[in-house]
Homo-oligomer: A and B are copies of this chain.
Amino acid sequence: MKIALAQLDYHIGNFEGNLEKMLGYVEQARAQGADLVCFGELATCGYPPRDFLEFDDFIRRSYTSIEALKAASSGIGIVVGSPTRNPVVEGKDLYNSAYFLYDGEVLGVQHKTLLPTYDIFDEYRYFEPATEFKTVEFKGKRIALSVCEDIWNVGNENPLYTICPLDEMMAEKPDFILNISASPFSYDHAAVRIHTVRANVERYKIPLFYTNHIGAQTDIIFDGGSIVMSPDGQVFDEMPYFEECLRVYDLEEVTRGGRTAEQPKEKVQLMHDALVVGIRDYFRKLGFKKAILGLSGGIDSAVTAVLAAKALGQDNVRVLLLPSQFSSDHSINDARQLAVNLGMQYDIIPIQPVFAAFEQALQAQFAGTAFNVTEENIQARTRGTLLMAMSNKFGNILLNTTNKSEMAVGYGTLYGDMCGGISVLGDVYKMEVYALAEYLNKDGEVIPQNTITKPPSAELRPDQKDTDSLPPYEILDQVLYQYIENRKGPRKLVEMGFDEALVARVLRMVNMNEFKREQAAPVLRVSRKGFGMGRRVPIVGKYLS
């Protein structure tokens, strides 16, 4: 039997687009002699569809796509994910299902049992878990069909669920497992994914074919990396990251095994590739082509600009240099040099006159008060307004350049440097931004060396340095990582050796600034725990704040 895995970039709610794409791949698979072609979880409607699932019309359109795929299944099996209405009145109204279509018929439907409801996932919000587990018989083989999380409750130290759906299916002695997934990228996820697939193969001793989505849906990025694993526990094949791809596998060869084909999983490169895809798909799926951003001469905007150029093409990225009276000459020079290196259109618009107009407007109210964070914020908001004006006038989406460290501690101005349609670096700690910069410069200096080596500064008052307000990033980033990614509380952090006063100060900054993150741009998620839907923290909470 020849099994084709298709890892595709779906688009939420774009039923026509998703269907047309799948129909094209059905024909490709057929042309390559496949008996069966497998698409992703909820591939008809895209993932995650979120509350669109509450609209009957949305479900109806998903069924329409299933009908069209059924009609295209003559002589070739099609496995595809789509929502199913729950006919039982009790329980949630939908199932998250894998359909097995063949010769114009539905050969089998397996609903998802384990409904991820953590981090960015909300599946129990919509779906009833399966209570029936049946294999599908196809061309003399028994197939254990499963959706994403249903293979993730095996081999964990702290399993999230009390049931294991594949255990239930083994009574029917399937010949192999098919899993259709929508499993989002994080820079350490590919290894975890292989570990999970292997835990299943070691438990059930049969081949496992796993197919994933690629592409970004706003903040959530899918990396593909679909896996074929032989019963010997070796990765028979791992499909490319971040690329649409169809490959056909011979079941006998896979069952025989003896082949290992894993890809390198280098963190900085994966982050880089994910961010480029994240930018590209945000624009493409919204129907935009052109970006704008402010270049400060600092490293965050520099890295963002290079990534944007890679994602959209340098001609589609316009930059503004917006110096104030506090900007140093080297900042302007560094920013200009970067724009020149990238061949981007740049404008220099000094913000001092607008800042002066604001000061003048507020003269009566501010009389007798000292320059403080207010005036710093006015500068940042003047820049935000200028960038948004260019965005509005010329149809460029503004890219936000805030990094994760700043976003965590609230070191940024709401409606100022926090403006933007999408946050490119909001899930990248400052020290990781440096690593990205080095990576981007690996084949020659694109980002001026001075941008990388100088001490970080917001340049909103004379001689300002980030370290005036924040611990050094080398330490700050470690505390933040342990608190945010690893959920270590204040006691644990002190036990780990961090200074108690510093821990209290950092955690307080993080928790107090939830109100800023609430209004931040969506953040391209590249870690296990990004800001946004995956991290839900009360604003008026009084915890460690």
Contact = CB atoms under 8 A, between A and B. Distances in A.
A540 B538 CA distance: 26
A282 B385 CA distance: 28
Contacts of A543: 12-14, 52, 58
Contacts of A157: 89
A474 to B, nearest CB: 24
Interface residues of A, number: 100
A441 interface: no
Contact of A218 (B48, B51, B538): B538
Given A122-B117, A285-B540, A54 B487 contact: yes
Given A374-B392, A390-B362, A217 B538 contact: yes
A357 B349 CA distance: 12
A135 to B, nearest CB: 24
A384 B386 contact: no
A25 to B, nearest CB: 19
A172 B56 CA distance: 42
A491 B159 CA distance: 43
Interface string A484-501: 000101111000000000
Contacts of A362: 349, 386, 389-390, 393
Interface in A43-68: 46, 48-52, 54-58
A356 B157 CA distance: 63
Interface in A262-318: 281-282, 285-286
A515 interface: yes
A93 interface: yes
A361 B383 CA distance: 11
A358 interface: yes
Contacts of A217: 538, 540-541
B374 A381 contact: no
Contacts of A124: 115, 117, 124
Contacts of A349: 361-362, 365
B519 A521 contact: yes
Q: Which of A90, A285, A360, A415 has the most chain B CB within a 10 Å cutoff?
A: A415
A489 B389 contact: no
Interface in A66-123: 88-93, 115, 117-118, 122
A267 to B, nearest CB: 24
B388 A46 contact: no
Interface in A505-525: 515, 518-522
Contacts of A392: 372-374, 377
A543 B415 CA distance: 29
A240 interface: no
Contacts of A518: 521-522
Interface stretch (A253-261, A453-461, A529-537): A529-537
Interface string A321-349: 00000000000000000000000000101
A20 B515 CA distance: 27
Nearest to A118: B125
A212 interface: no
Given A12-B543, A357-B354, A538 B57 contact: no
A522 B539 contact: yes
Q: Which of A115, A354, A492 has the most chain B CB within a 10 Å cutoff?
A: A354
A542 B17 contact: yes
Given A217-B541, A358-B389, 20 more contacts: A12-B542, A13-B543, A52-B543, A55-B489, A88-B162, A89-B157, A90-B162, A91-B159, A122-B125, A128-B162, A216-B540, A218-B538, A218-B540, A285-B542, A353-B360, A378-B385, A381-B381, A384-B415, A388-B415, A414-B419
12 contacts: A13-B543, A14-B541, A49-B541, A89-B157, A90-B161, A125-B536, A353-B360, A357-B357, A374-B392, A374-B393, A381-B388, A522-B539
The 5 A-B residue pairs whose C-beta atoms are closest, nearest first, are A13-B543, A57-B489, A357-B357, A285-B540, A374-B392
Interface of A: 11-14, 17, 46, 48-52, 54-58, 88-93, 115, 117-118, 122, 124-125, 128, 157-162, 216-218, 281-282, 285-286, 347, 349-351, 353-354, 356-358, 360-362, 364-366, 369, 372-374, 377-378, 381-382, 384-386, 388-390, 392-393, 414-415, 419, 421, 487, 489-492, 515, 518-522, 533, 535-545
